[in-house]
Amino acid sequence: MYLLRSIISELTEIAPGYYRMKLNAPEIAAAAKPGQFIQIRAVSELCADPLLARPISIYRINREEGGITLLFKAVGRGTKLMASKRAGDAVTVWGPIGNGFEVPEKARNIALLAGGIGMPPLFCLQEGMNLEANPPQLTFFYGGKTGRDLLETELLEKAPVRLKIATEDGSMGFKGFITDLFTQEQRITGFDYLIACGPAPMLAAVQKIAARLSLPGQISLENYMACGVGACLGCVCQTVQGPRRVCVDGPVFPIDEVIF
């Protein structure tokens, strides 16, 4: 893990309240893998409010340029302060944190299920896997309440994945939950592995579907985190192995391990 004073190279509002931030962080870019995250504080050196950093999943990794990209929603004081920054400003970051995804080589037909702001780590994962010499077939399911909740779909449309979109109001793609769309596609495609990231109710539903289908996979949790290093126990989740800290034992867990 590295603690850095990182310079913002780009900050763009890509949708109302949603931002894309690019950071110069060569040490983190060199070490990071899909599924990991960083902690970021956007306060000045003269102010420590808000005190706690914010955990943000790594969206894209550019090892050649020494940069990482984040997507975030400005909802609280910390993320709104991040959104107020400009290119050239400095922020404090540390990472990469967490275990990241470990996809078995025998998985050749993989379903990626992203709900809302759970998209970035799965986008990062598909970019990494598609750089492999013999990448698996990837189907990217992306769901939200409305089409306005779906970010950077133009990049996903260009990515070497089968893109399947679902919105609860039917404003984009399939009308309904992403889990319903996945169930339909599973009957046709016969996925052999499943990876999901999104809100807890979605992950609980995905877990039940995977159990019914005897489908192996992983889920990435989005628990609130304070310290990010496992000391405060603020992000503990219950698993079949007992309590686990999402920040250091996760955020990625076997799909059948977490107790919702």
On whether both 117 and 91 belong to a single domain, the answer is no
Q: Are residues 140 and 238 in the same domain?
A: yes
* 114 and 219 part of one domain: yes
| The pLDDT value given to residue 100 | 95
User: In terms of residue numbers, what domain contains 238?
Assistant: 109-254
Tell me, yes or no, whether 192 and 68 share the same domain.
no
Q: Is residue 104 part of a domain?
A: no
Residue 240 lies in a domain: yes
The burial class, CB within 10 Å (0-12 / 13-18 / 19+), for 150 is buried
Domain match, 90 and 138 both: no
> Can you tell me whether residue 165 is helix, strand or coil?
strand
Q: Which residue, 97, 118, 136, sits at the end of a domain?
A: 97
At 123 the pLDDT is 98
In this prediction, residue 228 carries a pLDDT of: 75
Which pLDDT score is estimated for 45? Answer: 53
Please tell me the predicted confidence (pLDDT) of residue 44.
55
**Stretches in the chain below the pLDDT threshold 70:** 44-51
The residue behind tokens 């339909």 is 184
Per the domain annotation, does 260 fall within a domain?
A: no
Instruction: Write down the H helix ranges in the chain.
Output: 26-31, 77-83, 119-129, 153-158, 178-189, 200-213, 246-249
> In this structure, are 131 and 65 located in the same domain?
no
Q: Are 86 and 8 within 8 A, CB to CB? A: yes
Q: What is the CATH number of the domain that holds 79?
A: 2.40.30.10
CATH of the domain at 159: 3.40.50.80
Domain count, the chain: 2
